[in-house]
Structure 1
């Protein structure tokens, strides 16, 4: 098999190790599931192109056995029997579409074309043709990779299937080492300076690959595999501005004059989420948001949106879910700590379908009796949690107006007597002099 032969005969020991491990994952999956029970999600990008050829090699080795390795000649046109899913949208690059369909023809891919969003399309597809496992080209560093392993069940709320991630631990360098060593075709956009391809609305050539001809001043871009630092592969996923034409300037790219956005040089975009009922009620002014935006701007980041959500796990999870696919980074603050109202950690975990870690590690009990910390959060957590159980009809909030300011406990309810009773109960739970 030509892929297996090219990699195993390579002098790149790291690549051979990555290849061997990925093939093991693929063969393990094919041992657990029949070929009719698995599918491959292909999007025409570099990662899924790598996965396609790994699956071809893995299926070949699984069928023929190790004893047949390297004995076959080139079989570029042998059909690939695994069901392939392709999500096509109006915002897909024409080059990606062309490459995908050409690849399907070359390797005989049995493609299911879906023109819905990923979740809705997957639900409809699996309802009509159930599969038990889907191979994905997810790598560490991808927005969707958080909490995933090489075999990970689908997230809550999604159709049930096993996510199989053979290249989860591959780097940008590994991807290009495989493509160039195997000498397989990849989408032409990667030769035009694109390093990470999303939709036509959020993808531009990576400025780190930009070059200017000293004689005529024309701008061009080096191919993606020449990016010196693979950690910056998503630097080309800048948000294109929706500003009117008057806000655009004319530049030269690849020798052609065209309008480009004034934000073309912005490398990353961010969303900011503030969590706190106090912000929404106007009790506390959100000063951190403005400070964070100013700091990000000085670093060359563009903040696309700031939102404020309630102290509620589902509210946090839903907002993180909305934002994580539209920005390079999501910054979230507020409601982070051990109090009953601190729901941010649990909300983020729910959005990514992972477990939360312990909020208070062992050995932290000395903070409860620290002389200089009159009212640390960990000291208030247990009494407030008990108070919440005793007075479920009251809203119990906890916040600071400034970083070094006192901890303020807010008790709100319709019955004044109940509110006063809760305040008195809290005084009894805390040390004398702590509560003012």
Structure 2
């Protein structure tokens, strides 16, 4: 399947419109009846992740959270799920009685009773989601392009740092001192992910904030099932056999996806099935 390309008009759509469209897609997906075991598991994973994101928004508020974003598949899924949660969070956090909101041209109804019960008539916040992009020392041009285009598409307030992780986080929190929690697309099979939970403070000696891991228990095939079932645009490198994106000096197409008899041809990333083989293309 080729990478979906967002229409030029989608780049000019408002943040509320984008949030509502995503939320409606996810609500429809959660209501689907399917015989596909992977999709059923994805539905359960989505429900858990939405609850974690909603809890983080209730604890900290949108102005105090951020997203670690590098254009990879895991943080892309996380970004889409956060977008889906913003209408419910904004509606439930809006003072009562609500006033007419000229930024969204709608009158917010009463707050929904749960994250999953959001009405498509609720008025989401127009505050962009804050995000940090820690750039690889030798980034792929395709990754840079996708980060730029998707940040524009989803209206991210993105800060870019070409620094190692610790000084990048220190610089970011200096630039954004209100940030108290950062969403991460870490999964349990990632390095250092084995013992993480949904909420973990940073370790001693690191910049202090709450790390939030809504997709920690997702499996590789579930990430791709979600992306492809919902038609989410993704970085084109994944169509060339890359399964885990780093920089040009430490990342290559996954050998497990090599087409037999053709040394330079690889199947797309979403055809890989085993979590343990995901990082075979990383040095």
Q: TM-score, normalised by structure 1?
A: 0.50
**Is 1:165–2:187 an aligned residue pair?**
no
Among residues 79, 82, 95, which one is paired with 1:55 in the alignment? 82
The alignment status of 1:135 with 2:178, answered yes or no, reads no
The 1-side partners of 2:81 and 2:44 are apart by: 13
> Partners in 2 of 1:123 and 1:92 — Cα distance?
21
Residue 262 of structure 2 corresponds to residue 221 of structure 1: no
- List aligned pairs for 1:48-87, cutoff 5 A: 48-64=75-91, 65=112, 66-69=116-119, 71=120, 81-87=128-134
Question: SS of the residue aligned with 2:280?
Answer: helix
CA deviation map 1:35-68 (0-9, x unaligned) = 1111101011110111110110122232243443
With over 3 angstroms needed to count, the CA separation of the structure-2 counterparts of 1:140 and 1:80, relative to structure 1, is farther
Change (3 A) 1:208 1:86: same
Structure number with greater Rg is 1
Please, what TM-score do these two structures have when normalized by structure 2? Answer: 0.76
Aligned length: 231
* Equivalent residues of 1:15, 1:177 under 8 A apart: yes
2: CA distance, partners of 1:124 / 1:106: 25
Higher strand share: 1
CA distance in 1, matches of 2:89, 2:230: 19
Aligned to 1:38: 65
State how far apart, in whole Å, the 2-side matches of 1:128 and 1:219 are.
43
Q: 2:135 aligns with which of 77, 85, 88?
A: 88
| Matching residue within 1, 26, 31 for 1:4 | 26
Aligned Cα RMSD in Å? 2.2
> How do 1:325-340 and structure 2 match up within 5 A?
none
Between stretches 110-119 and 226-235, larger displacement belongs to 226-235
Q: Please, which of 131, 151, 161 is the counterpart of residue 114 of structure 1?
A: 161
The higher relative CO (CA closer than 8 Å, separation ≥ 6) is in: 2
5+ long unaligned stretches in structure 2: 1-22, 92-111
Structure 1: which 5+ residue stretches go unaligned? 240-436
How much does 1:127 deviate? 2.2
Residue pairs, 1:397-416, within 5 angstroms: none
The answer on whether the counterparts of 2:257 and 2:272 sit within 8 Å (CA) in structure 1 is yes
8 Å CA contact 2:136–2:246 kept in 1: the answer is: no
